[in-house]
Amino acid sequence: MDINEVRNQISGKSVEEQLAIMTNHFPGRAIFTTSFGLEDQVITHLIFKNNIQAEVATLDTGRLFPETYKVFNETLKKYMKPVTLFFPDRTAVEKLVTEKGPYSFYYSGENRIECCRIRKILPLNRALEGKDCWITGIRADQSNNRQGMDALEYDAERKLFKFHPLFRWTFEEVRNFIAEHNIPYNSLHDKGFVSIGCEPCTRAVREGEDFRAGRWWWEAGGKKECGLHAGSGHRARSGGQGAEG
């Protein structure tokens, strides 16, 4: 499937229409992964309310905020539709914590990446097995790294399309949509938390700070990514034939 052809098909369409077009191209092989952030809650609402045929899934790292579990539960109550849960491998987590302790990620970049790989990347890989379209809540203005991405990309490493339906939305548009449609959201967003991940690795963002300054806040500079989306912008702009022709 040619990525430019699909881009033309979704161009100028509403988000609901774009989601329907993308998932119709990949029946039974489209997945949306949510961390229950504001953008993710908007997309979950659009999928569930419009009966869009995409699996909704989440990664439970074992280190999430209580507030995240609460909005997870409120989402299930509101929409009465399932969210598939993926845990990390028990043996890998037990080995990591036994050998390095529960806060090894604070001590080196290598340790942090290792923890993200075990708790997030490997469960994500399981979630994406057999899928050809991965829907995410990425927006362009979340970070400099993400501004270099496209709303529709082809991930050559995972061999699937990545679609970011809110890519051009502003943070204000997201918040307004949440309020207008009475969508459950994480109460930490009202306390200065913008991008919310694992509890030990996330803090509130201070006025004037970058959108993702609260993630892995002890690390200086860098792209502030865990590896879920790192590098996809580079692969996206290659265009060409999807699924290697």
Reported as a pLDDT band with limits 50, 70 and 90, residue 244 is: very low
Longest C-alpha distance within the chain, in Å? 52
Buried b (16+ CB within 10 A) or exposed e, 102-123: eebbeeeeebbbbbbbbbbbbb
Residue ranges of domains in the chain: 3-220
Reported as a pLDDT band with limits 50, 70 and 90, residue 125 is: very high
**pLDDT at residue 151, rounded to an integer:** 86
Q: What is the pLDDT of residues 187-208, one digit of tens each?
A: 999 999 988 999 999 999 988 8
Q: What is the pLDDT of residues 82-117, one digit of tens each?
A: 999 999 999 999 999 999 999 999 999 999 999 999
**pLDDT at residue 242, rounded to an integer:** 27
d(CA 55, CA 47): 9
Confirm whether 226 is a catalytic residue: yes
Q: What is the pLDDT of residues 146-193, one digit of tens each?
A: 555 788 999 999 999 999 999 999 999 999 999 999 999 999 999 999
- What's the start-to-end Cα distance of the chain, in Å? 7
Reported as a pLDDT band with limits 50, 70 and 90, residue 38 is: very high
CATH 3.40.50.150 for domain 3-220, yes or no, is no
Comparing 213 with 101, which gets the higher pLDDT?
101
φ, ψ for residue 140, nearest 5 deg: -65, -40
SS (H, E, C) 34-59: CCCCHHHHHHHHHHHHCCCCCEEEEE
| Residue of 115, 133, 201, 226 marked active site | 226
Q: What is the layout of strands, in order, in the sheet containing 84-86?
A: 84-86, 55-59, 30-33, 133-135, 160-163, 152-155
- Residue pair 195/215 in contact (Cβ under 8 Å)? The answer is yes
Q: What is the pLDDT of residues 128-151, one digit of tens each?
A: 999 999 999 999 887 555 555 788
Own/partner contacts of 202-206, CB < 8 Å, gap of 24 or more, are: 202/65
d(CA 193, CA 217): 12
